[in-house]
Amino acid sequence: MIGGGTVGGGVYEILMGNSGSNTALLPRLKQRRCIITKICVKSLSKPRSFHLDSSISSLVTDVSSILEDDSIELIVEVMGGTTEAKTVVLEALRRGKSVVTANKALIAEHMEEIESILKEHPESRFAYEAAVCGGIPIIQILQSCYAGDVIHQVMGVLNGTTNYCIDKMEHGSDLESALLEAQDLGFAEADPTADIEGYDIRAKIAILSKLAFGVTVSAVESIPCQGISGLKPADFEYAKLLNCSIKILGTAGRMSRFAQYDGALSVYVSPVMIPNTHVLAAAKGIGNCVAVHSTNMGICSFTGPGGGRFPAANSIVADIIRLANGTPANPFPLQSDIDIDNDYTAAFYIRIPFIDSIGIIRAVGELAEASDVSIHSILQNPIVDRLEADFCVITEECKLSQVKAFCDLLEEESDFCRAHPVYMPMLWEND
């Protein structure tokens, strides 16, 4: 195992319980027992959150002592990052070792290279259940359970930190306070940028889009990605008026509000206005939820803990057992040449921060027309401060590029818009 932190400790405790005898897991280990013989860590003196059975397992600091050990058949990578971890994972596969990892950023950024090495070294196996949604077996589900179906859309609450913060903001907290609380509880990293700006979700939805549609997003940075840093209390006030909740979702789909179609695939990350009756609105706290819309099954949802020591470790151990039993899933079972077009179509919520004056609604309508955006409705709470007010526009279905152009015009060409508008797609109850 490479890495001996929180999740790695959980893996060790589950797999090596009862002094490595695997007593509790023996009924599931039908072919071979699994023993962790070496754990590569940065420091031998650092206290560990698990009891190491030194008669079976040893700590090392040189990863080559694991990679070059021919008696080791499988490597668990839980060190994180995309530099040294990439070297370890790719070299292990080239040497004919199997790899289990929870590293979603590594998989998303280097998926094509991983696939290429697996083709060159068919004796190597690769499994990554813990990379998306922690304890929810969504990877295994998409790898095998939709073999006779056609998926139209996958979307989900894929990050527990942002979901926790949004829940707090929905009840009156500001983002900074919610984030500090999440950090105190151990839900958020010291540097939460990857969570708050949506980068963590971006990597996860790139993986899910590959599993659902067979398409590799060759440049993960090309996925449109909005985090939650722009959300304000006014957004949650308007959500209540619309009988909605706000969730940040990763979405991959070939679907519009009015039709299922066989066009290009759209993959994106954004806060979304969701009806309170929608299955994804039920995801609370650090929980995750994935909704899969397919031809045969309609909408199916999968919920559970999105991370944490034992949920993530449980998924890793499940991968280890499948590999030990000789029943691993094909890591990337679908291959397709579907085009990617991330200029997705949706109805949009747009909050416009404004300084009150005469003729604002007329000017908004003219700028919307210039951007080829049709307005469905306008909502405005009573104005308390004429210099710092907000109202929102709900559009008919239009493209992301049209909404961006509309918001740019509002900021650049109006004398009432005091900041760049905040926009997010809206879901309808049948989406």
**Cα atoms in the Cβ-side hemisphere of radius 13 Å centred on 260:** 10
Alpha-carbon span 39 to 2, nearest angstrom? 6
As a whole number, mean pLDDT of residues 3-31 equals 77
Same domain, 118 and 198: no
Nearest to 225 by CA among 252, 198, 200: 198
Q: Among residues of the chain, what percentage have pLDDT more than 70?
A: 95
- In the numeric block, the tokens 């309808």 are attached to 428
Are 90 and 114 in contact, with CB atoms under 8 Å apart?
Answer: yes
Same domain, 265 and 359: no
Same domain, 124 and 93: yes
Q: Please provide residue 39's backbone torsions phi and psi, each rounded to the nearest 5 degrees.
A: -130, 120
Nearest to 329 by CA among 143, 105, 61: 143
pLDDT band at 190; cut points 50, 70, 90? confident
Number of domains within the chain: 3
Domain final residue pick, 95, 111, 132: 132
The neighbouring-strand residues paired with 268 are: 251
Dump strand ranges (E) for 118-265.
Answer: 126-127, 151-157, 244-253
* 204 among known catalytic residues: yes
pLDDT in tens, 94-126: 999 999 999 999 999 999 999 999 999 999 999
Are 214 and 335 in contact, with CB atoms under 8 Å apart?
Answer: yes
Are 121 and 215 in contact, with CB atoms under 8 Å apart?
Answer: no
Alpha-carbon span 312 to 233, nearest angstrom? 33
State residue 187's pLDDT score: 83
Cα of first residue to Cα of last residue in the chain, in angstroms, is 42
Q: Three-class SS string for 150-162? A: CEEEEEEECCHHH
pLDDT in tens, 302-343: 999 988 889 999 999 999 999 999 989 999 999 999 999 999
Alpha-carbon span 40 to 24, nearest angstrom? 25
DSSP state of 134: T
C-alpha dihedral sign at 267, 200, 41, 33: negative
C-alpha dihedral sign at 145, 147, 150, 153: positive
Alpha-carbon span 279 to 67, nearest angstrom? 44
Same domain, 200 and 283: yes
CATH code, domain with 408:
3.30.70.260
Are 278 and 429 in contact, with CB atoms under 8 Å apart?
Answer: yes
Contacts of 421 by beta carbon, 8 Å cutoff, 6+ apart: 350, 351, 352, 353, 407, 410, 411
Three-state DSSP class for residue 105: helix
Same domain, 146 and 104: no
Q: Which is catalytic among the residues 38, 86, 104, 204?
A: 204
State residue 255's pLDDT score: 65
Same domain, 285 and 166: yes
> Which amino acid belongs to residue 308?
G
Residue 21 lies in a domain: yes
Dump strand ranges (E) for 287-430.
Answer: 287-294, 298-305, 345-354, 375-379, 389-395, 398-399, 422-426
Residue 150 lies in a domain: yes
Same domain, 94 and 168: no
As a whole number, mean pLDDT of residues 205-211 equals 98
pLDDT in tens, 115-171: 999 999 999 999 999 999 989 999 999 999 999 999 999 999 999 999 999 999 999
Same domain, 267 and 389: no
Lowest mean pLDDT segment, chosen from 16-20, 108-112, 118-122, 406-410: 16-20
Q: At what angle are helices 199-213 and 111-120 packed, to 10 degrees?
A: 40
State residue 19's pLDDT score: 47
pTM of the model: 0.93
Same domain, 125 and 178: no
Alpha-carbon span 72 to 366, nearest angstrom? 68
